[in-house]
Amino acid sequence: MSLLIHISDTHFGTEKPPVVAALVALARERRPDVLVFSGDVTQRARQSEFAAAADFCRELGIARMLALPGNHDIPLFDVVGRLFRPYAGYLEAFGPRLEPFVETQDLFVVGVNTTRPNRHKNGVVSAEQVARVSSQLRQARRGQLRIVVTHQPAAVSRPEDEHDRLRGAGPALQAWSVAGADLVLGGHIHLPYVLDLATGPQAVARPMWCVQAGTAVSERVRHGTCNSVNLIEWSTPRAGEPRRCAVERWDYSAKAGGFETAERRILPLA
């Protein structure tokens, strides 16, 4: 079995030390194969915040990591930096690539940089990015769980979050579904949820799921949620077995002093 931990929106600079320690403890206990970090690593793209985030990732002790920048990882008030070196701080700590790719025997994970320095918060996926990710997905081996990661959500669960939805997500989801994606992971709105993308008015043609993470360790909890992370379990099915994965949300409990399983779902896949 392969285990992937999905964290997001740590916003270092606003992190809660007991929650950081609890997440390190969870990672050391469960020993995931891959860490997916879907952006907003820092609160204000400061060097000290990136350094703290990079130290935290090392402490997790996970062999493979796929990280993406979020809108908070581009300087906001430093106009010169925003214009001329928007990703300098991020790349120094998490580079060298803005659109990384990670694979193991069983997992195939493609990152998409959906931030744009000329936009404040809104994320975009371009036609070039849609095509590039689609052709990468087609190279996945049988037996690998195929995952695309963005910062802004590819789908939202509430009408009031529609303005935060990734621009260009509709055509992207259609194309990535055809190319074989199973899951699309994101963050940004600090609201964890799992959405079936094969139902509803913009349904894709084969089973695919949007899996969103809340804020892992930041004080910036919203929507009445708490700090949370996702654990995704995957075993390559034997002949005749259905493809499916398990997604668990783990919530931080101050009372328990650690992360606890809050929800477990089995997602049927194509």
Q: Which residues bind Fe ion (CB under 5 A)?
A: 9, 40, 70-71, 188
Specify the residue, 226 or 246, whose C-beta has the smaller distance to Fe ion. Answer: 226
Collapsing DSSP to helix, strand or coil, 110 comes out as strand
Residues whose CB falls within 8 Å of the CB of residue 179, separated by 6 or more in sequence, listed in order: 133, 134, 135, 137, 138
Residues whose CB falls within 8 Å of the CB of residue 190, separated by 6 or more in sequence, listed in order: 9, 214, 215, 218, 220, 221, 222, 223, 225
**H or E segment and range at residue 91:** helix 88-94
Query: Do the Cβ atoms of 244 and 267 come closer than 8 Å?
Result: yes
Specify the residue, 41 or 145, whose C-beta has the smaller distance to Fe ion. Answer: 41
**Nearest distance, CB of residue 190 and Fe ion, angstroms:** 6
**Nearest distance, CB of residue 107 and Fe ion, angstroms:** 24
**Nearest distance, CB of residue 123 and Fe ion, angstroms:** 8
Specify the residue, 146 or 188, whose C-beta has the smaller distance to Fe ion. Answer: 188
Nearest to 187 by CA among 159, 223, 209, 214: 214
Specify the residue, 2 or 71, whose C-beta has the smaller distance to Fe ion. Answer: 71
Residues 270, 184: Cα–Cα separation, whole Å: 14
**Nearest distance, CB of residue 85 and Fe ion, angstroms:** 20
DSSP secondary structure string, 204-238?
-SS--EEEE---SSBS---TT---EEEEEEE-PPP
**Nearest distance, CB of residue 188 and Fe ion, angstroms:** 4
Phi, psi (deg, nearest 5) at residue 122: -70, 140
Specify the residue, 91 or 203, whose C-beta has the smaller distance to Fe ion. Answer: 91
List the beta strands (DSSP E) in the chain.
2-7, 34-37, 64-67, 101-103, 107-111, 145-149, 183-186, 193-196, 209-212, 228-234, 244-253, 258-268
Residues whose CB falls within 8 Å of the CB of residue 128, separated by 6 or more in sequence, listed in order: none
**Nearest distance, CB of residue 231 and Fe ion, angstroms:** 20
Specify the residue, 32 or 123, whose C-beta has the smaller distance to Fe ion. Answer: 123
Cis geometry, peptide bond prior to residue 18 (ω within 30 degrees of 0):
no
**Nearest distance, CB of residue 151 and Fe ion, angstroms:** 6
Q: Residue 260 is encoded by which pair of tokens?
A: 């606890």
Specify the residue, 40 or 106, whose C-beta has the smaller distance to Fe ion. Answer: 40
Q: Which residue is nearest to Fe ion (CB)?
A: 40
**Nearest distance, CB of residue 148 and Fe ion, angstroms:** 17
Specify the residue, 69 or 100, whose C-beta has the smaller distance to Fe ion. Answer: 69
